[in-house]
Homo-oligomer: A and B are copies of this chain.
């Protein structure tokens, strides 16, 4: 029995609200149960120095958490003067995930920055951020196309992410905070609609796990992302 009463292969309630941010070229406020992440896509008409003159675009991400998104208040990273290792790891992951489904040559030399800020946290924030960032990026691409900056939407695939884990010995889909903090193992799967793997991060927490368990988690992730792809499509109209 899961603490939330959910079935082992049941996602939390998902909603994706577009337009929450007034100024961004694209924005999506994604809610997965109690986890809420505001994803914005900001377009800039140039690329970073190390990429100039190559005729390719760039997609990058930054991640943050409001100090009181969590049960007890965390330090504000801006006040402490540096981003934690965890924050940097997550924002690098988000950037890689989105770049994996974009034809950057088709973008031209522009940069899209995806800011993913956690307003409320209940586990799975990095996966929610990736799933929401895809929507924000899609909206920004549409705006660029309608402004004739790009000719076609340069996506090469649709990407979403979900966490799975082994909780009290059983593989379960979409861990919330209560499950996550007590899991034997957890894994984040970033997958594409056609069955591709973009990134897998699987970690033993309480104990190591075997290949069969891993396989079960991957299957759950395929089920979960199928629902997330549908939610993304619905949000994009």
Contact = CB atoms under 8 A, between A and B. Distances in A.
Contacts of A62: 67, 76, 79
A48 to B, nearest CB: 14
A197 interface: yes
A217 to B, nearest CB: 10
A196 B218 contact: no
A115 B208 contact: no
Identify whether the interface residues of A are mostly helix, strand, loop, or mixed: mixed
Contact of A199 (B22, B72, B203): B203
B42 A68 contact: yes
A145 B183 CA distance: 32
Interface in A173-212: 185, 187, 192, 195-204, 207-211
Interface string A29-49: 000001000101010100000
A119 B210 CA distance: 34
Contacts of A24: 68, 73
A192 B208 contact: yes
B92 A89 contact: yes
A221 to B, nearest CB: 11
A77 interface: yes
A203 B196 CA distance: 11
A38 B71 CA distance: 17
A64 interface: yes
Given A23-B68, A214-B197, A82 B81 contact: yes
A234 interface: no
Given A197-B214, A214-B197, A214-B200, A78 B71 contact: no
A214 B42 CA distance: 34
A55 interface: no
Contacts of A117: 66
Contacts of A202: 197, 199-200
Interface of A: 20-24, 27, 34, 38, 40, 42, 44, 62, 64, 66-73, 76-79, 81-83, 85-89, 91-92, 96, 100, 113, 115, 117, 119-120, 122, 157, 185, 187, 192, 195-204, 207-211, 214, 218
